[in-house]
Amino acid sequence: METCVAVVPGSFDPVTNGHVDIIERACKLFRVVHVAVAVNAAKEPTFTRDERVEMLRLACAHLPEVTIGTFDGLLADYAVAIRAGTIIRGLRAVSDFEYELQMAHTNRCLAPDIETVFVPTRTDYSFLSSSIVKEIARLGGSVEGLVPDGVRQRLREKFEQR
Ligand code: ADP
């Protein structure tokens, strides 16, 4: 297992500035940061897999350490396959903690050599989630400062189509 490779998994539906902050901070800790977009059949995403990957590409263009991929099985299997030694998850509030701890234990059970590292969010992004920015965009509000530039346009297009 390579400890210099970390995987940052998520739905990224769409990527927000909170996600980018976590990815940037992961880049300070690891040589390769692989952002893995979950293609989860149980969740009905707003953006397609390709749209989510494309928005992440734009958002992470300034980070040479970052690679981007997608996975649709177990994260533990994917992390082993790409030889990641660490799973990175962001923590916004205590309410995130219970679920995240359960997932960390589950992944440890499935792949004992892979560590989970929690990165606390920046205070000013602690309220931010993909659902919140979609709700603002759906109701015609401004998401400036909450999502990367390319995502603002995508959100506008997505909700104008509806
Ligand atoms: P998931 O559906 O797996 O929770 P998300 O796309 O919602 O996927 O989140 C991916 C990761 O980014 C998670 O670790 C989540 O805690 C983290 N994250 C989401 N929003 C923020 C934020 N505002 N600040 C820091 N981390 C965040």
CATH code where residue 13 lies: 3.40.50.620
48-54, Cβ contacts within 8 angstroms, sequence gap of 24 or more: 51/14, 51/154, 52/11, 52/12, 52/13, 52/14, 52/15
Which residues are near ligand 1 (CB < 6 Å)? 10-12, 16, 18-19, 22, 38, 89-90, 92, 96, 121, 125, 128-130
| CA–CA distances in Å: residue 144 to residues 17, 47, 71, 76, 129 | 10, 19, 30, 35, 14
pTM for the whole thing? 0.94
- Beta carbons within 8 Å of 151's beta carbon, 6+ residues apart: 14, 15, 16, 55, 58, 59, 133, 143
Domain extent, residue 47, equals 2-160
Q: 54-109, pLDDT tens digit by residue? A: 999 999 999 999 999 999 999 999 999 999 999 999 999 888 899 999 999 999 99
- Distance (Å, whole) CA 84 – CA 81: 8
**Under 8 Å between Cβ of 19 and 132:** no
In whole angstroms, give the CA distance from residue 120 to residue 22.
Answer: 8
* pLDDT digit string, tens, across residues 121-137: 899 999 999 999 999 99
Q: How many whole angstroms separate alpha carbon 104 and alpha carbon 133? A: 27
Question: Hey, whose CA ends up nearest to atom 26 of ligand 1?
Answer: 90
Best of 7, 12, 22, 151 to mutate for ligand 1, by most ligand atoms within 8 A of CB?
22
How many domains are contained in the chain? Answer: 1
